[in-house]
Chain A
C-alpha cells in the first residue's frame, strides 16, 4: 500500500442507511458499507435497484430516513450538499447551458476557492484530457452528445473531489466513444489515489472490464460484494446471477432424486459429483448461455422463440417444456424462429440454487 497524505485518508462509511418514500416505497433498505479511498467500486443492478438513490443519498440530494453516512469520521448529516465535496457525473449530461465549455469546467474550481489563473490552468488541462481543447468557447448546445458528456466529465474530474460518483456515465454515448472512455476511465480512476470512486452501471461487461470491486444491488439492498471473478463465478443467488450475466443466465426449476437431475418436463440427466451431497428435493439450476450446447440428438427439445445475431455470435432463445433457455452460438448461424432444436445442458456447467435463490453449487467455485 502506498503512503498517502493523512488528510486524504478518507473512508466513506454507510451505516444502516434506509430511505422510504411515499411514492416508491422502500428505496434503500438498511445499507451498510465501507468505501475505502483509492478504490473503485462498481454498483451493478437493474434500473430500479437503488443505484442512483444510493449515490443521491451519499451526495445529499436524497435525505435519508435512518442510518448515518460518515466521511472520515464526519457525519454527513451535518454537512449540506454544497459542503460535501462530492463530484457527480449523471447519465444525462448536465452542463450549464449559458456558460462556455471553459466556463463550465472552471465554475466548480472557482467555487472551490482556486485563484483565477490556477482554475484556468486546471480546467484547460482537464479539457485537454477529454479532447475538447478546440471547443473552449462553444456553448454546450453547440456540441454533440458525446462532447457534452465529456464536458461534464472534465468538470467533475478536474475537481479532485474525495468522492466521485458516476451514474451510468456511458449510457447515452455511442459505441466507439464508450470503448474509448472505458479505457480512459481506468487510467483516470487509477490516478485518483485519494478518492472513493463509485461507478454505477447496468451492464455486466462494463462492470467486469473496469476490473474494480463489484457491489450487486437489488431492490435497495447490496446483495453481493466481491471481485469481478468472485461475483461472476459464484453469484450468491439467482438474483445476482441474473444481474451479472449478459447474455442472461437460464434458470430452470428441477428436482434432485435418485442420482438424477429431473427437469419439470421429465427430462433427466445424471447428477454431477459436486451435487451428490445435496439431499433430494426441489432446486433451481442455472446455466450460462455460452455453456449450453445444441445437440444433434438427445437433450432437451424445444422450439426457437427468438434469434438475435450480434457481430460474432448468435443468441437463440429456446422455449422448452422445462422453461426458457438462452443459448449462445459462436459465429452467425442460420436458425429460424419456430424451428425445433435440442439443447444439452452440460452437468458440470450447472449452478445449483435453493428454491429461495441461494447458491448451493457453482461450477467454477468450491461450492459449499
Chain B
C-alpha cells in the first residue's frame, strides 16, 4: 500500500516537473501549424516534427541569430567563476574547518556567517555598486569583470558547503599527514583534496548552475560585447520571435547543464569515502 502511494506520488510529481520541459522540447520541433492551431502533444501523431526552430538558431543559411558566441562567453564566464570560487573557497573552508581564527568575541562561526551573508542581499542592491566598480576598473563588458562579480556570489556557497564537508572528514587524516612530513598546505593538497572530490563536485555543480543561469549581472554589466547565453535567449524574446524558435533556444541553453548533471550523478553515486577511520 505504502509502495503504491509512493509510486503514485512520485509519478504525479515527475509529470508535474517534467511537463514544462517536455512542452519546451516538443515545441522546439513543431512547425508553425502545430503551434498556432491549439495545443498538440504527441509527435508524428498530432504533428509532424520539423527542424525549423533549430535551423533558425544554429549556424546555417536559415539562421536568424548567433547563439554560438554567447555560448562560448557563457562557458568562459561560468568556468572562470567556478574555478576561482572552488580554489579559493575550498582553501578558505579548510582553514575555517581546521584552525581557529578570532578577534575579540568573533570567531570562525562569525566568519562563516559573514561569507553566507553575502548571499542575503538581493542582487538588485549590488547592481549599481558593481557597475561603478567595474567601470572604475575598466572591466565593464569584459569576461574578467563578470567572472569576478559572479565569484563574489558563488564563493560563499562553496565556503559554506565545504566547511561542512571538511568538518565531516576526520581530522586524524590531516594530523597523520602532518606527522608524516606534510606541512598544512601539503596535507591539504595531498590528502584532503583528493578525498574532497564528492564535496567539490557538489559545490562546483552549484557554481555552474548559478553561473550559467545568471541573467541579472550579465544583463546589467556585460550585455553588449560579452553577451552570455541566457541574455541572448532573452534578447530573442524581445523581438517578435516565433515560439518554436524560442523553445529551441531555451532547450539549447539547458543542454550543457543536463549533460553535466548526468555525468556528475554517475560520479557521485560511486562514493569514495570510507576506510579512513574506523
List B residues 159-211 near A (Cβ within 8 Å): 170, 172-173, 175-183, 186, 191, 194-195
User: B residues within 8 A CB of A88?
Assistant: 176, 179
Q: List 22 A-B contacts (CB under 8 A).
A: A59-B179, A80-B178, A82-B178, A82-B181, A82-B186, A83-B181, A92-B278, A94-B170, A94-B176, A94-B276, A95-B275, A96-B176, A98-B195, A108-B181, A112-B181, A139-B275, A142-B275, A145-B278, A148-B275, A148-B278, A155-B180, A159-B180
User: A residues within 8 A CB of B129?
Assistant: none
Report B274 CB to chain A, min CB distance, Å: 4
Find out whether the CB atom of A95 lies under 8 angstroms from the CB atom of B276: yes
Report B141 CB to chain A, min CB distance, Å: 43
User: B residues within 8 A CB of A92?
Assistant: 172, 277-278
Q: Which residue of A is nearest B180, CB measured?
A: A108
Do A94 and B172 form a contact, CB below 8 Å, given A148-B275, A148-B278?
yes
Do A141 and B181 form a contact, CB below 8 Å, given A88-B176, A96-B191, A98-B194?
no
In the complex, A94→B275 CA distance in Å?
8
Find out whether the CB atom of A141 lies under 8 angstroms from the CB atom of B274: yes
In the complex, A98→B274 CA distance in Å?
9
Do A143 and B180 form a contact, CB below 8 Å, given A92-B172, A94-B172, A98-B195?
no
Find out whether the CB atom of A82 lies under 8 angstroms from the CB atom of B275: no
Find out whether the CB atom of A97 lies under 8 angstroms from the CB atom of B175: no
In the complex, A90→B172 CA distance in Å?
9
Q: Is A125 an interface residue (CB 8 A)?
A: no
Q: Is A86 an interface residue (CB 8 A)?
A: yes
Interface residues on B, range: 20 to 34
Q: Is A61 an interface residue (CB 8 A)?
A: yes
- Which of A61, A94, A111 is most buried by chain B, counting CB atoms within 10 A of its CB? A94
User: A residues within 8 A CB of B183?
Assistant: 80, 82
Q: Which residue of B is nearest A110, CB measured?
A: B181
In the complex, A61→B180 CA distance in Å?
12
Do A107 and B277 form a contact, CB below 8 Å, given A92-B172, A98-B194, A98-B195?
no
Provide the A64-93 mask, 1 if CB < 8 A to any CB of B, else 0: 000000000000000011111111101011
Report B92 CB to chain A, min CB distance, Å: 22
Q: Which residue of B is nearest A142, CB measured?
A: B275
Find out whether the CB atom of B172 lies under 8 angstroms from the CB atom of A111: no
Find out whether the CB atom of B278 lies under 8 angstroms from the CB atom of A97: no
- Which of A82, A90, A108, A155 is most buried by chain B, counting CB atoms within 10 A of its CB? A82
User: B residues within 8 A CB of A169?
Assistant: none
User: B residues within 8 A CB of A96?
Assistant: 173, 176-177, 191, 195, 276
Do A97 and B195 form a contact, CB below 8 Å, given A111-B180, A159-B180?
yes
Find out whether the CB atom of A140 lies under 8 angstroms from the CB atom of B179: no
Find out whether the CB atom of B173 lies under 8 angstroms from the CB atom of A82: no
Q: Is B273 an interface residue (CB 8 A)?
A: yes
Provide the A129-166 mask, 1 if CB < 8 A to any CB of B, else 0: 00000000001111101001000000100010000000
Known: A95-B275, A97-B273, A142-B275. 8 other contacts (CB 8 A): A82-B182, A83-B181, A92-B277, A95-B276, A96-B173, A107-B180, A108-B180, A148-B275
User: A residues within 8 A CB of B180?
Assistant: 82, 107-108, 111, 155, 159
Report A330 CB to chain B, min CB distance, Å: 37
